[in-house]
Structures are given as C-alpha cells and as structure tokens.
Amino acid sequence: MIKFGFLCFLAGFVLVKPAIAGEDPAFVFYGYLSHQVIYDSYRSVDSRDGQIYFFPLPASIDENGNDVNRRSRFNMVEVQSRFGVRMKEQELLGASLTGLLEVDFLGTQQDYTRMLRLRQAFVALDWQRHHLIIGKTFHPSFVLESFPNTVSFASGVPFHPLNRSPQLRYTFHPHPMWNMSLSLLTHGYHRSAGPHDAQRNSGLPDTQFRLQYGDGVFQTMGIVAGYKFLTPRDETQAGTATGETIGSYNLQAFLKHTFPSFSLKTEAVYGQNLSSFVMIGGYGIKGRPGEVDLTGDYSYTNIRTMSLWTDLETRGEAFRAGLFAGYTANLGADDDYISLPGYARNDDLHYVYRFSPRLMYRAGSLEFALEWSVVGAAYGLEWDHRHRVTETDDPTVNNHIIFGTKYFF
C-alpha cells in the first residue's frame, strides 16, 4: 500500500506541477476502470480469480458415475483496471523520444492477485526509418496491429501468444509499407514452464525476428520467427555439475484486413515449448522411462504446439458485434519424452477449441460488452513414446459468459 500510494503521489505531482507553473504537462495520464461479471458452467483451468481463462478441466467421475467438475462458478472482478503515464514526444539525439509506464492489479500470479503489477515500462527513439525500443513491452509475437478483440481478458489465450518482456528491439522501415525488427529479450513473469531462472541461466537472450507489411490500420500481414535457450539445472540430484541446455523455436504468420463493414484477423502459430506465450506446451526429459537415470545428467526434448484463430468484428461506431474462433493442439515431442512435473503447461491435453460471439456498445468513455464462449478441451488417455496422443477422451465443455463494463480516462 505504501508503494502504491507513493506511485499515485508521484504521478499526481508530475501532472499537476507543470499546470501550476503554467506549462504544458510533459506527461499524459490514461487508463480504464473495469468490472466483469463471470459465469462458468464447468470447473476450469483459470487464473486471477477467473479473469484469465484457459479451458475446462478433465472429467472427474466419482463412484456413482457423477462428474465432480460439472459445477458452475460465478464471480465479479475489477483487477484488470489499469493506469499509465505516457511521456509526450520530444526531440533528443536527432530522434523523437517517448516513454511509457503502465500498471494494473492482476499481480504476477494467482497468489498475488489484486497487487500492483508492472505491465510496461520503456523508452522509444524514432529516427523515421529507424526505431529503437528499450524496456519492457509486448513480445514481438503479440502484434499490436492484429490481435483478438475478445471481451475475455488476455486476448484469446491459449490460442494467441501473450507475453510482455524486457527487451531491446530495433526496427527498420525500408519503405512506408514495410518494416522488419530484431529483438533481444529476457523472460519476466511471462516465462517458460519449469525452473524460474532457466532462460536467465542459459546466458543467452530470446531472439526474435519480425517482418511486416501494411499500414497497420486497414491491413497488415507478416511473419515472426524466434529462438530461445533454457538451462534448467546447474547440478544433478547426485550433486554433479551440469549445463545441459535446450533450445526451442516459434513460428507465426498473421493477417489483418479491414473491409467497409467489418474487419478480419487471422493467425497461425507453430513451435516448440510455447509455454512462455501462455499457450499449452513445454518440455521434459529426452528418453524412455527406465532408460534414463533421473538422479544423474540427462537432456531435454520439447513438446510441439500448433494454434489457429480467426477474429471477425463489425465496424459500427456505437454497436459492434464480433466472433472469435480458435483451435490449438499438442503435437507431441521431438523425441522420446518423459514428463517432468511443472515443466509443461498441461501436457495431458490433446486439443482445445473455442467459439466466442460478442456484442459491444460504447457511449463516449463508457463501454458495455457481453461475450459467450463455448470452450471444449479433449484430454489424452494414451500416448506413444513421443507423447503423441493415440487415444482421446470426450471433450469437456464449458460455457464461459462475461458481462463487462469499462470506463476509459
């Protein structure tokens, strides 16, 4: 509370002092207040008191044949409310300099819900054809010009990548319609499953390349490709040193096109260990049970994941209607696979699907939104040695309904 109060005082001082002195404020304060009513017909995997939603749990049948997880849940939450300070543009080093600081109340994990969380903190330098970002902001895989506009928080996870990371990003604009960027990143709270410092201990940055075409408003398309390294352990259970490292790649193609009456966005994602994107996947031990000494040294293998999604939305000024549809699947590992507890996000899943129609109404600074998501999750019953599902249970299905209110300022 002391830190929060100090931050509010500092923001107020920065904004009010120039006004008292008769100057234009150097910073702009912005944000929104959010309230969401959430109903689920089936117990599910979620976080932040249901604010971040993933998919239904597997069926849990008791001795009487009843599904223990076929129970409804209801909640009301405001934790995604956020505020930020944006520095007004100024000239420095021959470039246009801006900066941004943004926080919300989701915390960095479920146990810290309702605590202040740093979302973004960066400076940006723009030399027209050259652009440099230094600080924490959205991962290059989260394309700000083309992401799902769902009412449900987190923009379509686990079908669409969600990640904000500390980074250095250089972008080159060879043409007004083309840009390409190279980013070096480290993992913050959006990190891969497994040990907390696995990426940091590798001694190497997460490296991402993005090529993009379009004006960003009415049309955009492009690709993202990246590679990261993880070093989960410094020593084995037997106490001997190990530097075993695993690398993994991510590939992505995206498209947005705006028609006279609606916009279309679509994306395909494929990669290894996409858990740092809040998607299903991860990694485990390379080998077969009984053939690997779990107390000694061993190598790792990645789980491969694919995802497809499409988002449609009308272009009305006050009323808008939209539809999100997504599908993601566990494609198994690259080699023989042994699961490690905590090293994967739901490696027991086969696939997840979601259909989400929505209605939104905005009057000035106030917005009301209603979304009904039908989400199905099919869990594996049997797998081969590479953790590819050979037999799947019937999908469990949840009706995830949200009524949201936002006041923008």
Q: Which helix (H) or strand (E) holds 3?
A: helix 2-20
Q: What is the mean pLDDT of residues 124-134?
A: 96
Q: What is the pLDDT of residue 42?
A: 98
- Of 331, 334, 377, nearest to 352 by C-alpha is 377
* pLDDT confidence of residue 1: 44
- Percent of the chain at pLDDT > 90 equals 87
Q: pLDDT averaged over the chain?
A: 93
283 has a pLDDT exceeding 60: yes
- What are 292-322's pLDDT values in tens digits? 999 999 999 999 999 999 999 999 999 999 9
Predicted confidence band of residue 190 (pLDDT cuts 50, 70, 90): very high
Distance from C-alpha of 178 to C-alpha of 223, rounded to nearest angstrom:
12
- Set out the domains of the chain in order of their start, with CATH numbers: 2-7+31-408 (2.40.160.10)
- Model confidence over 6-16: pLDDT tens digits? 455 445 544 44
What is the model's pTM?
0.90
CA gap 164, 25 in Å, rounded: 28
pLDDT the model gives residue 7: 53
For residue 113, the model assigns a pLDDT of 85
Q: Please state, for a pLDDT cut of 70, what percent of the chain lies above it.
A: 94
- pLDDT tens-digit profile of 26-39? 889 999 999 999 99
Check pLDDT > 50 for residue 20: no
112 pLDDT tier (thresholds 50, 70, 90):
confident
Q: CA-CA distance, 347 to 380, in Å (whole number)?
A: 9
Give tens-digit pLDDT for 242-282: 999 999 999 999 999 999 999 999 999 999 999 999 999 99
Per-residue pLDDT averaged across 182-202, rounded? 95
Read off the pLDDT band of 104 (50, 70, 90): very high
Report pLDDT digits (tens) over 62-94. 999 999 999 999 999 999 999 999 998 999 899
pLDDT of 178: 97
Q: Give the Cα separation of 265 and 325 in Å (integer).
A: 11
- The burial class, CB within 10 Å (0-12 / 13-18 / 19+), for 324 is buried
Element (H, E) at 145: none
